[in-house]
Chain A
Amino acid sequence: MSHLKPRLLKPDQEEVAPQTEPVKTYRVRGIPYFQVLNNDGQPVVELPDWAQRKNPLVALYKVMLKTRLFDQKAVALQRRGQLGTYASSLGQEAIGAAIGCSMQTDDVLFPAYREYAAQFSRGVSMTEILLYWGGNEQGMNFQHQDKDFPICVPIASHVPHAAGTAYAMKYRGQRRVAVCVFGDGATSKGDFYEALNAAGSMDLPLVFVINNNQWAISFSRKHQSKALTLAHKSVAAGIPGEQVDGNDVIALRQRIGRALENARDGRGPTLIEALTYRLCDHTTADNADRYRDSEEVKKQWVNDPLVRLRKHMQLLGFWSDQEEKDLNSRYLVEVEQATRAYLQTPPQPISSMFDYLYKSLPDALNEQRSAAMDQGHQSG
Chain B
Amino acid sequence: MSNEVQRWIKVTKVAKTTLVDAINLALAYEMAADPDVVLLGEDIGVNGGVFRATDGLQKTFGSQRVIDTPLSETLIAGMAIGMAAERLKPVAEIQFMGFIYSVIDQIINHATRLRNRTRGRLSCPMVLRAPFGSGIHAPEHHSESTEALFAHIPGLRVVIPSSPGRGYGLLLAAIRDPDPVIFLEPKRIYRLHKQDIEDDGQALPLDTCFLLREGQDVTLVSWGAMIHETITAAEQLAAMGMQSEVIDVATLKPLDMQTILDSVAKTGRCVIIHEAARTCGIGAEIAAQLAEKGLMSLFAPVERVTGFDTVMPLFQLEKEYMPNVDRIVAAAKRTLEN
Chain A contacts to B: CB under 8 angstroms: 108, 137-138, 140-142, 146-147, 149-150, 154, 157-169, 171, 178, 190-191, 194-195, 197-198, 201, 352, 356-359, 362-365
Contact = CB atoms under 8 A, between A and B. Distances in A.
Contacts, number: 133
B38 interface: yes
A141 B102 contact: no
Nearest to B116: A356
Contact of B254 (A150, A171, A364): A364
Interface in B46-78: 64-65, 67, 69-70, 72, 74-75, 77-78
B207 A363 contact: yes
B152 to A, nearest CB: 14
Residue in A163, A167, A191 with the greatest tally of chain B CB atoms within 10 Å: A167
A340 B82 CA distance: 34
Contact of B83 (A137, A167, A364): A167
B284 interface: no
A359 B78 contact: no
A296 to B, nearest CB: 33
B118 interface: yes
A161 B154 CA distance: 20
Contacts of B154: 357
Given A163-B75, A356-B116, A146 B178 contact: no
B71 to A, nearest CB: 9
A165 B65 CA distance: 14
A150 to B, nearest CB: 6
Contact of A164 (B70, B80, B109): B80
Interface of B: 38, 64-65, 67, 69-70, 72, 74-75, 77-88, 90, 102, 105-106, 109-110, 115-123, 154-155, 178-179, 207, 253-258
B10 to A, nearest CB: 26
- Interface of chain A, main secondary structure: helix
Nearest to B154: A357
A365 B254 contact: yes
A163 B102 CA distance: 17
A168 B86 contact: yes
Given A357-B116, A359-B179, A163 B78 contact: yes
Contacts of B85: 147, 149, 161, 164-165
A201 B155 contact: no
A197 B154 CA distance: 31
Given A167-B82, A168-B86, A190-B74, A160 B106 contact: yes
A157 B78 contact: yes
Nearest to A171: B64
Given A149-B122, A197-B72, A165 B105 contact: no
Contact of A161 (B78, B119, B178, B207): B78
A165 B109 contact: no
A190 B122 contact: no
